[in-house]
Amino acid sequence: MADNIFAKIITKEIPAKIVYEDERVLAFRDIGPKAPVHVLIVPKKEIARVSEATAADEALLGHLLTVAAEVARREGVDDTGYRLVINKGPHAGESVPHLHMHLLGGRPMAWPPG
């Protein structure tokens, strides 16, 4: 496993507030929440960023979305709505080199994003 914070959360070397886990995916609360609900959905497989996923990862990428929708239901934001975000590269503000999807909800959000 790579030596980054999410790899260590996946192996449970570092604690996190886990809200969902299965054999392929872990979801935990963001340590610096930008909305009342801010959960990160992370594949356990080591994929640094979306541009490094391959055709072999398509089912896993789809699973991230269905897990995000399930977590949103559990967090009570399905009716009010939510945003799913993947940051890739410096212009988007990617800061951890392990693929992760942000689930943000619990307040209205502006569009376009800043």
Among 4, 5, 45, 60, interactor with ligand AMP by CB under 6 A: 5
Residue 94 binding ligand AMP, by CB under 6 A: yes
Q: Which structure tokens are listed for 1? A: 């496993």
Closest CA to 45 of 64, 32, 29, 30: 64
Query: Per CB under 6 A, which of residues 8..27 are in contact with ligand AMP?
Result: 16
d(CA 14, CA 5): 8
Q: Smaller CB distance to ligand AMP: residue 57 or 87?
A: 87
Distance CA 40, CA 75 (A): 13
> Which parts of this chain interact with ligand AMP (CB under 6 A)?
5, 16, 28, 30-32, 40, 87, 93-96
